[in-house]
Chain A
Amino acid sequence: MDGILYAIAIMALGGVVLGALLGYASTRFKVEGDPLVDKIDSILPQTQCGQCGFPGCRPYAEAIAKDEADINQCPPGGDENIHKLAELLGKEYKPLSEEHGIEKPKQVAIIDEKVCIGCTLCIQACPVDAIIGAAKQMHTIAEDLCTGCELCIPPCPVECIHMVTVVDTPDTWKWQKPGTASRVIPIIPVMATIQSEHA
C-alpha cells in the first residue's frame, strides 16, 4: 500500500516539476509572432503585386500558413519559389496556377517623362514607394527600388508607364552550370562589329 502511495507521490511531484518547467519555458522562450509566416514571407519575392489575390506578400504568407491559399499563386516567385515553399511546408509541388499569371523575367517600370502629367496616381499605387514626384510635377521611378509589380500601370491616365525587362550586366551576370546547357558564348564576327560601329 505504501508502495502505491509513494509511486503516486513521485509521479505527482514529477508532474508538478515538469509542468512548472514547461510553464517557465513557454514564457521564457516565447516566440514573438508566427515563425512560419515569417519563413514563408522570406521566401516570397516581396513584389507586393497582389497577383496571388491577397493585398501583398505578407497576407499571402499568412493565408498559406493557415492553409487558406495554395502555394502556387505567386507568378513573380515562379517555379523556384513553389519548390522552396513545397519543401518548407512538406507539400507536393504543383505548377504555377495559370489564373494568377505567368512567370516573367524580372522587370522594372519606366515612366515616359515626356508624357507624364504629374497626377500622382501611380505614386499612390506603388506598394514600395519607388516612385518619386509631386502633384503637377513629372514623376520618375527609382529603378533599384522597383519590384516590377505593375500596379502603377492601370491607374496611369495617360499610359505613360511601361515595363522593361532587366538586362544582365557584367556584375549581375551568372555563370552557367557546366555541362547542362549548350554554353555558347556569343561570338560577334569581328568585321560585323567594326562595320556597325563605323556606320
Chain B
Amino acid sequence: MKLFSFKGGIKPDPNKTQSTVLPIAQAPLTSRYIVPLHQSVGGTPRPTVQVGERVLKGQRIGEADGWISAAVHAPTSGTVVEIGPHIIPHPSGLATDCVVIEADGRDAWIERTPFDLDQAEPDAVRDYLRDMGIVGLGGAVFPSHVKLSVPRGKQVEQLIINGAECEPFITCDDRLMREQATEVVQGSLLFGRLLNAGKVLIGIEDNKPEAIAALKEAQQQLEAPLEIVTVPTIYPTGGAKELIRVLTGKEVPGSRRSTDFGVQVFNVATVQSAWRAITYGEPLISRIVTISGAVGEARNWSVPIGMPINVLVKLAQPRTDMDGVIMGGPMMGFRIPATAAPVIKATNSLIVHAPGLFPPKPAELPCIRCGSCAQACPQELQPFELYWWSRSAKFEKLENYKLFDCIECGCCDFVCPSHIPLVNYFRFAKSEILAEQREQQIADAARERHEFRQERAEREKREKAERLAKANAARKAEGKDLSAAALSPSPKTAPANDPDAAPDISSHPDQASTPISMDNHPVLDATAKQAAILAATERARLKREKHAGKSRDTTH
C-alpha cells in the first residue's frame, strides 16, 4: 500500500521498551473511587444517584447531558458517599463535581445484556454507546457516538483505526493490541459496519512489531476484511490529521471535519471498548494506563476509572525522590496538580517524575528566527511568528498565522535552539482568545437583551398611552352621546387611532381629574403595595434572624 508523508515531525527517544516487557496487570480493588462527572468533551453528565445510594459495578451514575456528552458509570459496587468537587487531573488544578464511591469489596456487576446489533436502528446504536460512556481513549475523550454519525450526503471511504501511539513512554495501545488483538480487530470491523465504511485501515508505527504480528494473526483467524498498515515511526504520526495524511494522502484542514473528506479516525482502545459494550454489555469503567518513568516496575495496568492516582502509582514502586506525576506523554502531557486526583477516561499514561528523568531544560534565549520550528511543525505553521505575536499579546495577528491549527504536539519546542517554551505561549494565547470570544458573546447577548427590554418598555409606554387615549375618547364620545342624543357609534373608535390623542389627555386638566378608575388605580395599588412590602420586609427580617441562628452560611 502506498504511504504518504507529512512535513516536519521529530524523532524523540521512544522510551517504550521499559513498560512493554510485562503484560497488562489488573489493578487491585481499593476502598474509594472518585469518579468525575465531566470526563469527556461536551456537556457535563447529570448525576443519577444520590448520596447514600448503593450502586453496582457498571451502574450508570451520570447520564449524558445533550448530544455531545457521554454517561459515566460506577467502577465497582459500593455506596455513594459524596457528590461534590474534587481535584481532577487537569492542568488548572481545579476541582469539579465527582461521585465518590466507597467500595464494598464485592465488586458485583449489574446485569449485563449484550446489545442486539441486527435488530437496532443506527440511532439506537449511537444512543446505546453514549449511555455506555464510550469516548475516545487516545486522550481526546470525544464522545464516540458523535463521530459515528456521518453528515448527510457524506460517505466514509476510509475508516482509520489509530494504533500509531507515537508519543514516547506511552505503551497502553501497544500492549492492548498484543493481548486483545481479536477484540481490537472485531471492534474495528464493528465500527466499519456502523459507518458503512468502504475500507478499514489499522495504522501502527513500525516500532511495535509484536502488536502488528498479533493483529495480523487475529485478522487471519477472523478472516477480517481490513488492512493492517505499518507506518514509519515519526512523532506525531499518531495525531489524527497526520495519520490520515500518511495513510490516505488526504489533508484535513484545522477548520474542517475529517468526514468531509470521507475519513474517520478512532483509537484502537476505543473500538475495543465499544465492541465489549455491544458484545458483553460492559460500559466503559476501566482503561489501560501505562505507568513508567522513575518507578521500579514500569508496566501497563487495567485501572478502574476513578481510582486515585497515588494508590495506583504506589503499585509501581516509585522512586523515593519522586517529585511529580505527569499524565500523558512527555510531549503533550501535563503535571497533575495533586496525586489524590483520580484516573479518568483520558488517562492513557502516568509518568512518575524524579530528578534526572528528563534532560534539564536550558535557559531560554531570544528567538533568532532560525526557522527550525517551522521545519519541524507537522501542521506547517510558522511557530516563531506565532510566538512573536503571542508574546506581545497581539491576538488579532495570530488569526493570520492560523494559531488554532496548532495541535500542541511540541515539535517546535523540541527543536528550538533557544529553548523557548513555544507551546506554552500558544496555549496561553489560545485560552486568552477563547476567553475573549466567550466574553464577547456574553456582552452581545446582554446588549441584545437590554435593547429588547428597552424596546419593550417603550412599547408598553406607548400602548398604555394609547389605552388611555382610547378610554378618554370613549368618555368624550359618551359625553357627546348624552348631549347630542343620537349619533352613529363610529366616532367612538376613530379618536383611539389618532396618535394625537395621548398628549391631549395631559393637556386637559379637567380630564385628568375625572374620577375614572384607570388613573387612580395605580395610586391605590401603590399604597397597598407599599404596605404589603413593609409587612413582608418585617416577615423576612424575622425569618432571616431565625435562619441566621440555624445556618450561618446561607444568608449574610
User: Which residues of A approach B to under 8 Å, CB–CB?
Assistant: 41-42, 44-48, 56-58, 112, 114-115, 117, 119, 127-130, 144-145, 147, 157-158, 160, 162, 168-170, 172-179, 185-188, 190, 193-194, 197
Contact assessment for A168 and B449 in the assembled complex, using a CB-CB cutoff below 8 Å? no
Chain B interface residue count, CB cutoff 8 Å, equals 58
Q: Which of B340, B421, B431 makes the CB contact (< 8 A) with A174?
A: B431
Are A173 and B92 in touch, CB under 8 angstroms? yes
Residue in B335, B430, B432, B446 whose CB lies within 8 Å of A128: B446
Tell me if B106 counts as interface (CB < 8 A to partner A): no
A188-B340 contact, Cβ under 8 Å, with A128-B450, A157-B533: yes
Chain B at the A interface: SS class? helix
Q: Please determine whether A190 and B554 come into contact, CB atoms closer than 8 angstroms.
A: no
The chain B residue sitting closest to A44, CB to CB, is: B443
A147 x B446 contact (CB < 8 A): yes
B91 CB–A CB distance under 8 Å: yes
Assembled-state Cα–Cα distance A119/B539 (Å): 13
Residue from A41, A117, A144, A178 within 8 A of B428 (CB atoms): A178
Could you give 18 example pairs across A and B, Cβ below 8 Å?
A42-B443, A46-B447, A47-B446, A48-B450, A112-B555, A115-B540, A115-B543, A115-B555, A117-B533, A119-B533, A128-B450, A157-B533, A158-B541, A169-B96, A172-B435, A179-B364, A193-B87, A197-B82
A173-B94, A177-B425 given; A187·B431 CB < 8 A: no
Partner of A185, one of B337, B435, B444, B541: B337
CB distance from B429 to the nearest CB of A (A): 9
Contact between A158 and B449, CB atoms less than 8 A apart: no
Whether A114 contacts B547 in the complex (CB less than 8 A), given A119-B533, A157-B536, comes out as yes
Across the interface, which residues of A come within 8 angstroms of B445, CB to CB? 145
In the complex, what residues of A have CB within 8 A of residue B537's CB? 117, 157-158
Alpha-carbon distance A170/B91, docked complex (angstroms): 8
Q: Is the CB of A128 within 8 A of B449?
A: yes
Q: How far is the CA of A179 from the CA of B339 in the complex (A)?
A: 25
Write the chain A residue with the least CB distance to B453.
A129
Assess the B428–A177 pair: CB atoms within 8 A: yes
Indicate if the CB atoms of B91 and A176 lie closer than 8 Å.
no
Residues of B with C-beta under 8 A to A175: 91, 424, 427-428, 430-431
Q: How far is the CA of A157 from the CA of B96 in the complex (A)?
A: 35
Which listed residue, A56, A145, A179, A190, touches B310 by the CB 8 Å rule? A190
Task: Tell me the complex Cα distance, A144–B430, Å.
Answer: 22
A188 neighbours in B (Cβ, 8 Å) = 87, 93, 337-338, 340
Instruction: Tell me the minimal C-beta distance from B477 to chain A in angstroms.
Output: 34
Within 8 A of A (CB), among B433-464: 435, 438-439, 442-447, 449-454
Tell me, in angstroms, the Cα distance from A162 to B86 when the chains sit together. 26
New A-B contacts (5) at CB < 8 Å, excluding given A41-B447, A42-B443, A127-B453: A58-B451, A158-B540, A179-B421, A190-B338, A197-B86
B361 on the interface (CB 8 Å rule)? no
Contact A186 B93 (CB under 8 A): yes
Query: In the bound complex, how far is the Cα of B438 from the Cα of A169, in angstroms?
Result: 14
Contact (A129, B555) CB under 8 Å given A172-B435, A186-B337, A188-B87: no
- Separation in Å of the A35 CB from the closest CB of chain B? 16
Residues on B facing A (Cβ under 8 Å): 32, 38, 82, 86-88, 90-94, 96, 100, 310, 335, 337-340, 364, 391, 393, 421, 424-425, 427-428, 430-432, 435, 438-439, 442-447, 449-454, 533-534, 536-537, 539-541, 543-544, 547, 554-556
CA separation between A173 and B430, bound complex, in Å?
A: 11
Number of A-B contacts (CB under 8 A): 131
Docked Cα-Cα span, A42 to B430, in Å, equals: 21
| Inter-chain contact B335/A185, CB cutoff 8 Å | yes
Minimum CB–CB distance from A198 to chain B (whole Å) comes to 9
In the assembled complex, the CB of A56 is this many whole angstroms from the nearest CB of chain B, namely 6
List the 10 closest A-B pairs by CB distance, nearest first.
Answer: A158-B540, A173-B92, A188-B338, A117-B536, A46-B443, A46-B446, A178-B424, A174-B431, A128-B449, A193-B340
Which of A145, A177, A197 sits near B100, CB closer than 8 Å? A197
Complex Cα–Cα for A164 and B393 (A): 30
Interfacial chain B residues near A129, Cβ < 8 Å: 449, 452-453
Q: What's the minimum C-beta distance from B46 to chain A, rounded to whole angstroms?
A: 16
Using known A-B contacts A117-B536, A188-B337, A190-B310, determine if residue A170 contacts B449 with beta carbons closer than 8 Å.
no
| Complexed CA–CA distance, A187 and B38 (Å) | 21
Known: A41-B447, A48-B450, A194-B340. A162 touches B533 (CB 8 A): no
> Which residues of the other chain, B, contact A45 by a CB distance below 8 angstroms?
439, 443
Residues in A whose Cβ lies below 8 Å from that of B543: 114-115
A193 lies within 8 A of B338 (CB) = yes
Chain A neighbourhood of B555, CB < 8 A: 112, 114-115, 160
CA distance A190 to B424 in the complex (A): 27
Instruction: Pick from B424, B438, B450 the residue with the most CB of A within 10 Å.
Output: B450
Tell me which residues across on chain A come within 8 A of B338, comparing CB atoms.
186-188, 190, 193
Q: Residue of B at shortest CB range from A160?
A: B540
A194 to B96, CA, bound (A): 16
| B82 shortest CB reach to chain A, Å | 8
- A181 to B547 alpha-carbon distance, docked (Å): 43
Specify which chain A residues have a CB less than 8 angstroms from the CB of B100 in the assembled complex.
197
A114 partner residues in chain B, CB cutoff 8 A: 543, 547, 554-555
Given the known interface contacts A127-B450, A145-B445, A188-B340, the answer about A119 and B92 at a Cβ–Cβ threshold of 8 Å is no
> How far, in whole Å, are A176 and B93 apart by their CA atoms in the complex?
13
Contacts of A193 in B (CB 8 A): 87, 338, 340
A15 to B438, CA, bound (A): 51
A186 to B, closest residue via Cβ: B93
Chain A contacts for B540, CB-based, 8 A: 115, 117, 157-158, 160
Residues of chain B lying within 8 A (CB to CB) of residue A46 = 442-444, 446-447, 450
- Complex Cα distance A4/B116, Å? 98
Chain B nearest CB from A151 CB (Å) reads: 11
Of A46, A48, A160, which is in contact with the most chain B CB atoms at under 10 Å from its CB?
A46
Contact assessment for B449 and A130 in the assembled complex, using a CB-CB cutoff below 8 Å: yes
Q: Which of B96, B393, B446 contacts A48 (CB 8 A)?
A: B446
Name the distance in Å between B69's Cβ and chain A's nearest Cβ.
13
